[in-house]
């Protein structure tokens, strides 16, 4: 129901909400103010629970498909020069996550993890053109029997302060399974071979672990 990365924050928030509610109950005499404080505390708890939710998704395993790695909105579909790993042109699909989206990162395809690197950096807004090069980010490459090597990049945004990446070199990536989490942020870029058929368009809202965004 909730992602393991949120357990500590949820527990701390729960204690804070209980404490604030009790203080308001015993020490605030004005009824509307007391109820207002308690209501705001509950709303804050609900927001935290909502952010760390981890809905169960069933992903049909298909090496011909690239599945959306996260929930969010498609904000980039273009050919770009990928500088870090491929050092050649790739088809980039970027998905932006708002604070209300599920922030679990899932493997977009199955295969063997051949590259996994963390890069500290800035916290520019996720849609900034330089975010994929200058923000805090992780880069992971999965070698798939149909697509070959496919790169995905978790990118922190203005609010995100911690990226969690579970992929390690040598791991077997299972399509749709949990690959990480971005706390309070922000964007995932997928770099595909040129000529890959794109199944989404700019502005589409996609569902991680379920929706096909590209196919061979």
In a domain, 100, yes or no: yes
In a domain, 70, yes or no: yes
CA distances 2 to 10, 50, 104, 132, 174, Å, are 9, 9, 10, 28, 20
Same domain? For 22 and 69 the reply is: no
Element (H, E) at 192: strand 187-192
The structure's pTM equals 0.85
In a domain, 59, yes or no: no
Same domain? For 188 and 123 the reply is: yes
Same domain? For 39 and 79 the reply is: no
In a domain, 189, yes or no: yes
94 is catalytic: no
- Which residue segment(s) compose the domain that 29 sits in? 4-51
Structure tokens at 134: 């200058």
| Rg of the chain in Å (alpha carbons) | 20
Walk along the chain (216 residues) and give the pLDDT tens digit of each residue.
777 887 888 999 999 999 999 999 999 999 999 999 999 999 999 988 887 888 888 998 999 999 999 999 999 999 999 999 999 999 999 999 887 888 899 999 999 999 999 998 776 666 666 667 778 889 999 999 999 999 999 988 766 557 889 999 999 999 999 999 887 668 899 999 999 999 999 999 999 999 999 998
Same domain? For 76 and 167 the reply is: yes
In a domain, 23, yes or no: yes
pLDDT at residue 202, rounded to an integer: 96
Same domain? For 70 and 47 the reply is: no
Which domain CATH number covers 108?
2.70.70
Same domain? For 127 and 200 the reply is: yes
CA distances 33 to 27, 51, 62, 211, Å, are 11, 27, 55, 46
CA distances 176 to 14, 29, 38, Å, are 30, 52, 39
Catalytic residue among 21, 116, 132, 186: 186
Would you give the DSSP letter of residue 39?
A: H
Structure tokens at 130: 């330089």
In a domain, 152, yes or no: yes
Same domain? For 75 and 153 the reply is: yes
In a domain, 21, yes or no: yes
Same domain? For 113 and 76 the reply is: yes
Nearest to residue 35, comparing CAs of 48, 27, 25, 45? Answer: 25
Same domain? For 16 and 73 the reply is: no
Same domain? For 38 and 145 the reply is: no
- Here the contacts of 163-168 (C-beta below 8 Å, separation 24 or greater) are 163/118, 163/136, 163/137, 163/138, 164/5, 165/105, 165/116, 165/118, 165/138, 165/140, 167/107, 167/113, 167/116, 167/138, 167/140, 167/142, 168/113, 168/116
Q: How many domains does the chain have?
A: 2
Same domain? For 210 and 109 the reply is: yes
Same domain? For 126 and 77 the reply is: yes
Task: Strand 178-183: give its sheet, edge to edge.
Answer: 104-106, 178-183, 162-165
């Amino acid at each position: 129901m909730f992602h393991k990365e949120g357990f500590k924050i949820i527990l701390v928030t729960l204690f804070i909400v209980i404490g604030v509610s009790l203080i308001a109950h015993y020490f605030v005499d004005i009824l509307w103010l007391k109820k207002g404080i308690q209501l705001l505390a509950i709303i804050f708890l609900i927001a935290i629970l909502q952010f760390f939710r981890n809905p169960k998704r069933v992903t049909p395993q298909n090496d011909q498909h690239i599945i959306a790695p996260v929930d969010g909105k498609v904000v980039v579909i273009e050919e770009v020069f990928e500088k870090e790993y491929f050092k050649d042109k790739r088809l980039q699909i970027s998905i932006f996550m708002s604070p209300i989206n599920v922030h679990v990162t899932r493997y977009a395809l199955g295969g063997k993890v051949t590259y996994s690197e963390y890069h500290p950096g800035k916290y520019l807004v996720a849609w900034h053109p330089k975010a994929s090069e200058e923000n805090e980010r992780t880069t992971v490459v999965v070698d798939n029997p149909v697509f070959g090597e496919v790169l995905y990049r978790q990118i922190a945004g203005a609010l995100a302060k911690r990226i969690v990446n579970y992929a390690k070199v040598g791991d077997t990536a299972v399509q749709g399974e949990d690959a990480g989490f971005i706390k309070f942020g922000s964007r995932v870029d997928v770099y595909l071979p040129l000529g890959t058929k794109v199944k989404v368009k700019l502005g589409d809202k996609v569902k991680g672990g379920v929706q096909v965004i590209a196919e061979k």
